[in-house]
A = this chain, B = another copy of it.
Amino acid sequence: MISDEEILKSKDVPGPTKEEIRCLVLCKARIKKNDYVVEVGCGTGAITIELAKKAGRIDAIDKNIKAINLTRKNLKKQGLLDRVNIIHGEATEVLKNLKNFDVMIVGGSGGKLQEILNIGSKKLTENGRIVITAILLETKVEAVHTLQNLGFKTEIIEVNISKGRILDRGTMMLANNPISIITGYLQ
């Protein structure tokens, strides 16, 4: 896992998702070498970078052209640009045109989570997984219920991490905002 500092940021693009959360998302996704992974809302590309190191085929989607450009930059910086198909567009549209995939990562949905999960779930291979990060209370509930209704074995974790700032006078812990990771497994 690369550190947060290595990732190029922009004030117009949310993210990057913090190192520890990227790490947990990747674990929950249980990616295998030949998996076809679709990422909805790639933002800075912070998670995309890690997908690019692990999966067989990666499609990274974002509706914000600035996110698309930043993802491209970050992938290039890591020498991983040729490993990812970067797709500019609204996920609910883009997903429809994709072939079946093994894993869907949802880092942003812009109020369309249900639709994204509905469409995405129909495209999942039989051992497929969906991993969603959520910072809004409402999204957490919506993610759990939608996955449940779609028949997924559903898990939700809430992650509170604080990181030490090691000073002369001692070690001060600084909190990151809580974030939930919701995972749906088909098997």
A residues sitting closer than 8 Å to B (CB atoms) are 1, 19-20, 23-24, 26-28, 30, 111, 135-141, 144, 148, 154-164, 166, 169-178
Q: Are A20 and B157 in contact (CB under 8 A)?
A: yes
Residues of B within 8 A of A166 (CB): 144, 148, 154, 156
Number of copies: 4
Cα of A156 to Cα of B174 in the assembled complex, Å: 10
Interface centre among A136, A157, A166, A171 (most CB of B within 10 A): A171
Bound state CA distance, A136 and B144, in angstroms? 12
CB-CB under 8 A for A173 and B23, given A154-B166, A155-B164: no
25 A-B pairs with C-beta separation under 8 A: A1-B30, A23-B24, A26-B27, A135-B172, A135-B173, A136-B169, A137-B140, A137-B144, A137-B156, A137-B170, A138-B141, A138-B170, A138-B171, A141-B141, A144-B164, A144-B166, A156-B166, A156-B173, A157-B162, A157-B163, A158-B164, A159-B160, A160-B162, A162-B175, A173-B178
* Alpha-carbon separation in the docked complex, A159 to B26 (Å): 17
